[in-house]
Structure 1
Amino acid sequence: MKKALLCFIITVFTFSVLAACGNNESSSNTSSGSNDKKVEITFMHSHGGESEKLIKNLVNGFNKSQDKYVAKPVFVQGSYEGMVEKLQSLVVTKKLPDVVTNGLVYTKYLNSNMPIVPAQKFIDEENTDMSDFFPNMLDLGKSEDGKQNALPFAVSTPVVYYNKDLFKKAGLDPENPPKTIDEVREAAKKLTTGGQQGIFYDYTMTGAWIFQAMVETMGGQMVSEDGKSVGFDQEPSVKALQHWTDLVNKDKSMPKVEAAQALQSFTSGKLGMYITTTASLGSIRSSSKFNLGVAPFPTDGEHERKVPAGGNNLFIMKSTSEREKGAWELVKYLTSPESTASVAKTVGYMATRKSAVEKEELLGGYLKENPLAAVTYTQTSNMVPWNNYSGKSGTRIYKVIQDNLEAALSNQKTPEEAMKDAANEGNKLLD
């Protein structure tokens, strides 16, 4: 009897354990839902605010478009510098994301210091036709040997935003904005009255972006052709900084404030012109209550305009072959004509595909109805790469530039002294 009871207890216990194991497995399947058999892809990006909603919509679109992969967006604060810092920490723990948005100012850094999978690998395997991309935008993601390491995602150029109402009040033609740097200065003087000022160049923008536009439009170079020395102590750099210091300290037409404060002044109608990225068009247009104008970046009247391509590209990080393949599928989706048109309409970045601009149902009709958004495309042929400095210490040069710009604008140094100091410090950091 006791033996029979013992057998019964053992049998019941065994079935209970098996049932419990079965229930755990069932619970796991239920909680993960239909994503069980899908390969998870992490997409790390630095697009915040309204742009983050766009990223989520694009990723949702990708997830619905196929049943093999599920992508998850992860926002990183701190703009392009924040992304680089995040990747530097993750590469140590070997927990890198599968796809990242990388600021074009750090393309060379990622090429040299991160375990990337070149897009060229997949392009060659699939014999992908790349002819629909704007060629100079494709160039932004190439290595020094011409290999396509990344694809362009969001591209921008600097433009002049201006208040047409204030132009008219100051006796300026709102339909004929200034075309040269000298004309910008004269217009800024006329726009400066009482608590109102004339102009703000967004000189604090990451990677000395606006400063590069000024220097190269004036015929200079941020770095020598061989990449072994910087060009800050050359005449064009000094002239560019002199223009800014004159606006701030002599004309009093440009406020010495943070960019966010200057933007607030502009959108509230207390600043006549604001020079920054075309990617700000969406937010500026929605927050401005006046007649807004947009014009190309000014020239110096002698040299051809040269505007660095801002924005970011998409890199794939090394992982497993299955995840890398999924990452490539995500990159293709994010850079499709439909996706790039959505980025352009929603934020203000430039579309990276020619068909997106040409097709009426994508951007063709939109640009006709929104001429302000079309201005940046008039500068496509003037686009040059955002300057990258080589070596592990090269990224520190941007802070050297910024510190010396600040010193000159604060009257602590002359433009000549600031640029000479920046050149001396910068050359020490070049490898």
Structure 2
Amino acid sequence: MKLWSKFVLLFAVMLTLAACSSSDQESGSSTEGGKTKIEYWHVNAETQGGKTVEALVEEFNAQSDTVEVVAKYNPDMYKGLMQNLQAEVAAGSSPAIVQIGWAFLDYFSNNFSYVTPQEVIDAHFEEDKTFFEDNFLPNIMDLAKNSEGTQVGIPYSLSTPVLYINRDLLKEAGLPTTGPTTWEQLKEDAKAVLDTTGKYGFYMQEPADNWATQALLESNGAKIITDGKATFGSEKGIEAYSLLSDMVVEDKSALHIGWDQGVQSFIDGNVAMLYTTIAQRSNIQNNAQFDVATIKSPAWEGEEVKLPAGGAMLAITAQEEEQQKAAWEFMKFLYNVESVAKWTEGTGYVPAREGVADAENGLKQFLAENKMMQAAIDQMSGVVPWTSFPGDAGLQAEQLLLDVRDQILGGSVTVEEGLTSTEQSINKLLK
């Protein structure tokens, strides 16, 4: 019995120590080296900034005596991160910093606990009180404000969709190597590539969001949302979506596959034109074995180009004071000129803060040597907010648009039927 009692006592002590260890890990209170440990959740796959995230985290950890950052990659882009964050919060925990895609700005601010970076600065970092007004343009900062005008986070990644072109393949098809300037011409060029080379003419990115779809529709005068109601099923919206559907379903000159596969097909020389984020610039530039270039997003005849701001903001979800302080220390590091320059070089995102492009320790030399960035910079005047469906139904509304995309491009429903019924379904959710 004495032996059994000793065993029970020892087991209880072990459980207590394990619980304490678990509590420390959840709160991120400290590591063995006395640093505050925090998690940074991001959506950057290896081919789209993941290596740069790892390098920046490693550099920060090496120079910080007080904070240790652990980066956690979330697949399925921003929608996947939102779903993982829901599960983490339900389990009673949360990371310290998260990347939030612009389309989920309102959903995030309505459903999760966060603290604005300025609140943390005002409470603990007197020297940084004017950091944002000193380093960011007001209209850029406004991208991270929710529909109620609250500054939820800080813009970090800015991108627009550009058209990557395989000049060699266009030349082989007898087409101008400058690429098309309109969507109507793009459709004709894609068919010409298929007819003359047997290869695909076009691929438009298909991640777990509707970013590229918004650019296609709104550049034709449609609106995803008007006064809180879904309106993408308008005549202009149907016309725009029909062009893409015709290329995929009827002409078979465009691909309908996953995003990674589509980008790789372009890199492999099997697709002439790729419509995706400038953030893929590094991956494509480093791996394409042909004459590759970027040109501005195509326009619709007689319409003004409107391009949703891609990328993300950084938000602080840390609940404890020490973690919030640690979060700002890491964020401040990410926003210094050298770090932003490395982020742009490793991804292709347009810098969110001022002064990076012209700084000697920033991007001055890089931009002179990497002309593929110019298309994204030249079309920033056409940037509009990425549509964020309001209320708690945001994720579900996004998913319905993804579902109808697959139905339309899979040929199971017509564009008019799919967009009209989905618009009605989303508006029921938004009531």
Give the structure-2-normalised TM-score: 0.87
Deviation, 1:379, is 1.8
In terms of Rg, which structure is larger?
Answer: 1
Within 2, Cα distance between the matches of 1:261 and 1:34? 40
Within 1, Cα distance between the matches of 2:86 and 2:105? 14
8 A Cα contact 2:104 2:394, kept in partner: no
Alignment of 1:323-362 (within 5 A): 323-362=323-362
Secondary structure at 2:221 match in 1: coil
1:223 equivalent in structure 2: 225
Alignment of 1:303-318 (within 5 A): 303-318=303-318
Gaps of 5+ in 2: 1-20, 22-29
From 190, 196, 200, give the equivalent of 1:197.
200
Secondary structure at 1:272 match in 2: strand
2:423 equivalent in structure 1: 423
1:70 equivalent in structure 2: 68
Higher mean displacement: 284-293 or 400-409: 400-409
Report the AA paired with residue 364 of structure 1: K
Mapped pair 1:379 → 2:382: no
Deviation, 1:35, is 5.0
Deviation, 1:134, is 4.3
Mapped pair 1:121 → 2:123: no
Residues 1:77 and 1:185: Cα distance change in structure 2 (over 3 Å): closer
1:155 equivalent in structure 2: 158
Secondary structure at 1:356 match in 2: coil
Mapped pair 1:37 → 2:39: no
Residues 1:143 and 1:409: Cα distance change in structure 2 (over 3 Å): closer
Within 1, Cα distance between the matches of 2:421 and 2:202? 27
Deviation, 1:238, is 0.3
Deviation, 1:123, is 5.2
8 A Cα contact 2:318 2:327, kept in partner: no
Deviation, 1:231, is 0.7
8 A Cα contact 1:212 1:222, kept in partner: yes
Residues 1:259 and 1:93: Cα distance change in structure 2 (over 3 Å): closer
8 A Cα contact 2:153 2:315, kept in partner: yes
8 A Cα contact 2:162 2:294, kept in partner: yes
Secondary structure at 1:388 match in 2: coil
1:3 equivalent in structure 2: none
Within 1, Cα distance between the matches of 2:38 and 2:408? 46
2:98 equivalent in structure 1: 100
8 A Cα contact 1:180 1:301, kept in partner: yes
8 A Cα contact 1:199 1:271, kept in partner: yes
1:398 equivalent in structure 2: 398
8 A Cα contact 2:77 2:207, kept in partner: no
Within 2, Cα distance between the matches of 1:414 and 1:72? 46
1:13 equivalent in structure 2: none
2:180 equivalent in structure 1: 178
Deviation, 1:218, is 0.8
Report the AA paired with residue 396 of structure 1: Q
Report the AA paired with residue 209 of structure 2: G
Within 2, Cα distance between the matches of 1:415 and 1:92? 38
8 A Cα contact 2:168 2:290, kept in partner: yes
1:388 equivalent in structure 2: 388
8 A Cα contact 1:218 1:300, kept in partner: yes
Within 1, Cα distance between the matches of 2:242 and 2:171? 28
8 A Cα contact 1:360 1:366, kept in partner: no
Mapped pair 1:141 → 2:144: yes
Within 2, Cα distance between the matches of 1:358 and 1:124? 30
Report the AA paired with residue 177 of structure 1: G
1:234 equivalent in structure 2: 234
Report the AA paired with residue 158 of structure 2: V
Percent sequence identity over matched residues?
A: 31
Within 1, Cα distance between the matches of 2:374 and 2:162? 11
Deviation, 1:179, is 1.0
1:164 equivalent in structure 2: 167
8 A Cα contact 2:76 2:208, kept in partner: no
Mapped pair 1:82 → 2:80: yes
Within 2, Cα distance between the matches of 1:423 and 1:188? 29
Higher mean displacement: 179-188 or 253-262: 253-262
Residues 1:401 and 1:366: Cα distance change in structure 2 (over 3 Å): same
Gaps of 5+ in 1: 1-27
Deviations 1:295-353 (Å, cap 9, x if unpaired)? 11111132221111111211101422222111112111112222111111012222112
Deviation, 1:159, is 0.6
From 213, 216, 220, give the equivalent of 2:215.
213
Residues 1:409 and 1:416: Cα distance change in structure 2 (over 3 Å): same
Report the AA paired with residue 185 of structure 1: K
8 A Cα contact 1:35 1:70, kept in partner: no
Residues 1:34 and 1:248: Cα distance change in structure 2 (over 3 Å): closer
Deviation, 1:38, is 2.3
Deviation, 1:398, is 1.7
Report the AA paired with residue 215 of structure 2: A
1:281 equivalent in structure 2: 281
The alignment covers a number of residue pairs equal to: 398
Give the structure-1-normalised TM-score: 0.87
Report the AA paired with residue 35 of structure 2: K
Within 2, Cα distance between the matches of 1:70 and 1:206? 31
Within 2, Cα distance between the matches of 1:118 and 1:251? 49
Residues 1:261 and 1:37: Cα distance change in structure 2 (over 3 Å): closer
Report the AA paired with residue 93 of structure 1: A
8 A Cα contact 1:241 1:405, kept in partner: no
Secondary structure at 1:411 match in 2: coil
Deviation, 1:103, is 1.9
Deviation, 1:285, is 1.7
2:269 equivalent in structure 1: 269
2:190 equivalent in structure 1: 188
